[in-house]
Amino acid sequence: MSLQMDISFCCECGEDIHEIVYVQDPDFSAEKNRDSQTDSWQEASCPSCEKEHIVQVTNTFYGATASIDYGSTNVNYGMPYYPESETDELYWYIESKTHYEIFQSHIKSVRSLLDVDVPSDTLFSLWVMLHGHVVSAIEGYLAGTFIHKVTNSEELTRKLVETDPEFSNRTFSLKEIFEKQSNLKTTVATYLKGLIFHDLKKIKPMFKDVLGHEFGDISWLFRDVLKRHDCVHRAGYDKDGEAINVSKESILILLRNVENLAASVEETVNKLDEPDDLPF
């Protein structure tokens, strides 16, 4: 089974493009990270102007990266993953009510790991891994909670369709309308799962327009998502080869921030179970 990675970027025509690309395994016979690098090239077509973009995917022991048109286009990309059964995964998002509990379990584990006695020369690596894990935990919580709430509410599904440009710009034949209606939950879940939930420019207004939740100032999350990029793809070093600023104290601050964010979202979505509190 091949590794995959979610990427997104903006075409020069202004179209936002979301793609899943394949990731070649690193060279496991290599002894050093620099010798483990593998590269592959794929094409991503813009549905608006039909321009073919070249996607270069590079993978090493430290992680995978993606570039578009030989670095001339900014690209967002997530961590590589092995695809699961699409249907099983979608129904897990739709049916599961444990997203907050899973998030809390991750946070509890991180707090425990921060107190583990490890050699001083390995602390930086531990902090790098924990920073990336905490950011992934809050992204997973936001994605799972949003998909579960929306797909299990006709009112929220309607609100998504009315406010999201991707849905509002779609046109369907009468036959397709009946087909989509019978599988509406999976149609919506498939679309939402395709979004990269650390693209906060899109996620923040979706929570406001559909769930009625105001994130407030989450500039800290934007910064920590960017820092997570260096944690995952360069093992804690920036593009200039400098170690990022990460410590036990910075992770404790991040933990408090994500816990407060998740708790505020929980307060909003729990009210959605009360009909009079729907944001319409």
pLDDT in tens, 37-82: 999 999 998 988 989 999 999 998 778 899 998 888 889 988 887 6
Condensed to tens digits (0 to 9), the pLDDT of residues 138-160 reads: 988 998 888 888 888 888 888 88
Kindly report each contact of residues 33-38 with a partner whose C-beta sits within 8 Å and lies 24 or more positions away, as own/partner.
Answer: 33/60, 33/61, 33/62, 34/60, 36/60, 36/61
Contacts for 114 with CB less than 8 Å, ≥ 6 apart: 130, 248, 251, 252
Residue owning tokens 């990269």: 196
Say yes or no to pLDDT of 268 above 50.
yes
Contacts for 268 with CB less than 8 Å, ≥ 6 apart: 211, 212, 213
> Is pLDDT larger for residue 192 or for residue 111?
111
Q: From 37, 44, 39, select the one nearest 21 (Cα to Cα).
A: 44
Say yes or no to pLDDT of 181 above 70.
no
Contacts for 131 with CB less than 8 Å, ≥ 6 apart: 224, 227, 228, 231, 246, 250, 251, 254
Mean predicted lDDT score pLDDT of the chain:
82
Rg over alpha carbons for the chain, rounded to the nearest Å, is 20
Handedness of CA 259, 266, 204, 199 (dihedral sign): positive
Condensed to tens digits (0 to 9), the pLDDT of residues 210-249 reads: 999 999 899 999 899 888 888 887 888 888 889 999 999 9
Handedness of CA 250, 204, 44, 11 (dihedral sign): negative
Residue owning tokens 């609100």: 159
- Residue 168's pLDDT is 60
Among the ranges given (21-25, 249-253, 272-276), the one the predictor scored with the smallest mean pLDDT: 272-276
Say yes or no to pLDDT of 177 above 50.
no
- Residue 278's pLDDT is 46
- Whether the model clears a pTM of 0.75, i.e. scores above it, the answer is no
- The tokens for 246 are 């990460």
Q: How confident is the model at residue 191 (pLDDT cuts 50, 70, 90)?
A: low
Q: Which amino acid is at 200?
A: L
Q: How confident is the model at residue 123 (pLDDT cuts 50, 70, 90)?
A: very high
- Residue 28's pLDDT is 76
Q: From 237, 39, 241, select the one nearest 124 (Cα to Cα).
A: 237
